[in-house]
Chains A and B, each alone.
Chain A
Amino acid sequence: MVIDSEKMKSLAEATSREDVVGRSLWADARRRFFRNKAAIFGLVLLVFVSLFAIFGNFVAQWSNEEIDFSVMGMVAEQGGPSLANGHYFGTDDLGRDLFARTVQGTQISLAVGIIGSAIAVVVGTIYGATAGYFGGRIDNIMMRTVDILLAIPYMFVLILLLVMYGRSITMLFVGVGLISWLEMSRIVRGQTLTLKGREYIEAARAIGVPAPVIIRRHILPNLIGVVTVFATLLVPNMILTESFISFLGLGVQEPMTSLGALISEGSGTISYGTLWQLAFPLLFFVLTLFGFFFVGDGLRDALDPKDR
């Protein structure tokens, strides 16, 4: 009898068990992403850098513009990193607090990277999806234009623009945004071409759904994976571009600063023995790039598990 009652119990349990919850594509991808140690490491780095950029100013004892006159002129001897005078990362060559400046530099670099990438997502996706969906001559003209634009040494043109029309952060955003969408549009077009041949698109077309609606409802949602991965990997590239220009002194202007500008300043003064002026901006620069690269790679592996 004992055995019987146990059997009944397990039977009751089995019948009352809820339906198995299906795993969506996204849940699957999320699981793969969180299993990837490198991706988690990248995510942790990004969270750390973001927290630093957002809350760093509450921790800083000095503002980024204030000059500490007690160390000015003796930066090499007294401007080093110290907890006693509140300069956690030391001071820069003029005696300004490097901690506050690194916070600001990280903010600007992140902003440039994310905004540049966002422009690429919007413009590149619309452009690429349109070219890929319509195909034929429209596609040919649109993509040849991209080919031509890609063949232009954009960094030189960007520097040309910055010199001729003044160095401002808006100009920098415009310049970075102008070039960033080209590669994105190519990738989106390629993906659209393969999507276009699928049966459900054909079905939609057969029942008379207009092209803009097909693109919006059926093509774009299926592009999200590719676009997300590429956008994530684009952010560090945008940061690199901005830093390159700021390193040349053509990007963000004083009193604002970016990581590239700080690295430039720091590397200009290393011969005075003020290594920290290079080390701290460089550290945050490298952490940010690492973070984005790892997360981007992790996303790619998670969303495209083809050969792994």
Chain B
Amino acid sequence: MPPASTHRKNRMIVYILKRLAIAIPTLLLLIVFSFLLMHAAPGGPFTQERELPAQVLANLNAKYGLDQPLWKQIWNYIWGIVAHFDFGPSFVYKDRTVNEIIAQGFPVTLTYGGVSFVVAVLAGVTLGAVAAVKHNTIIDYFAVGISIGAQVLPNFVMAPILVIVFTLFLGWLPGGGWRFTDPSYWIMPVIALSTSYMASIARIMRSSMLEVLNSNHIRTARAKGLPGHRVIWRHALKPALLPVISYLGPAFVAMITGSVIVDIYFSTGGIGKAFVDSALNRDYAVMMGVTILVGALTILFNLLVDIIYGWIDPKIRY
């Protein structure tokens, strides 16, 4: 019989493979789904007010491969993405590919998105944990007040408020734009994006921490005379974090979605801007590219969260 640790490791690998087995079809389904959606949309990409001559239209369709049967178009599209990471040409900007358009905005989104995510998790967990430890004190009420208030301030509400306060009245921060080298451009996007998720994380953390602090193993730890801070750091924090970890997946999706608002409001030029511009231009190729990329990121992130969860929680069945 193999030792328990290898046994556990093997089961962990099976678990990861199982999650992968779900992740890959999900992604393919997303690609096929968005392709069919685009295909079924009324009006082709070259529909204009002035009708194009038939020959021109035929040539255009041939150039973009739209004259081929549907299954072949889908296959070419998937193959392009999988084999060459190529999302094809833009339908509106004749000289640009979807890859170029995405590559331009992606680093920006990743930067402020990543910072926002870290801020939301750190601030939320701290706020929630402190509130639970100081349950029913003024600190607790203060933390709960903040998290309730922040919950009704989604990014599209925070953004104008921040601009009014910090740009129009105080004049401390630039009202928009983006520079990688100047963090003063980062502050408002990050606050706008992270506030409401920080609040949700704090609420989840507080209630799970309260539950853990009332559980038997904490009572035992206290009874054997461990100092309070050690009880919290060594015994309470880890189990209390589990519900927070399972919230990270949805929070990540919501933040990526929120980047659309941030890009519009602060003109940060991220991937959300590419998405909205393409939506307004009916540049389906770019819209699909962004949707698929975001979907892939989401799936990857959920996979990561599942693995972390399985690693932390000894009770989980693989």
Partner-B contacts on A (CB < 8 A): 144, 147-148, 151-153, 155-157, 159-161, 163-165, 236, 240, 243-244, 247-248, 250, 260, 263-264, 266-267, 270-271, 275, 278, 282, 285-286, 289-290, 293, 307
Contacts and interface: CB of A to CB of B under 8 A. Distances in A.
Contact of B160 (A165, A236, A270, A289): A270
Contacts of A307: 210-211, 214
A133 to B, nearest CB: 21
Chain B interface, >50% SS class: helix
B299 A151 contact: yes
Contact of A285 (B25, B157, B290, B299): B157
Nearest to B276: A248
A37 to B, nearest CB: 13
A277 B100 CA distance: 39
A161 B287 CA distance: 11
27 contacts: A147-B22, A148-B25, A148-B29, A151-B23, A151-B30, A151-B295, A152-B298, A153-B253, A153-B257, A153-B295, A155-B260, A160-B34, A160-B291, A163-B282, A163-B287, A165-B41, A243-B156, A250-B279, A267-B163, A270-B168, A271-B168, A286-B157, A289-B152, A290-B148, A290-B152, A293-B152, A307-B214
B294 interface: yes
Contact of A152 (B151, B210, B282, B295): B295
B154 A161 contact: no
Interface residues of B, number: 50
Contacts of B256: 153
B284 interface: yes
A231 B107 CA distance: 38
A8 B25 CA distance: 82
A263 to B, nearest CB: 7
Interface in B118-139: none
A293 B151 contact: yes
Given A153-B294, A164-B38, 19 more contacts: A148-B25, A152-B33, A157-B291, A161-B37, A163-B287, A243-B154, A244-B154, A248-B260, A263-B156, A264-B156, A267-B159, A267-B160, A267-B265, A270-B164, A278-B160, A278-B164, A282-B157, A286-B153, A290-B148
A160 B37 contact: yes
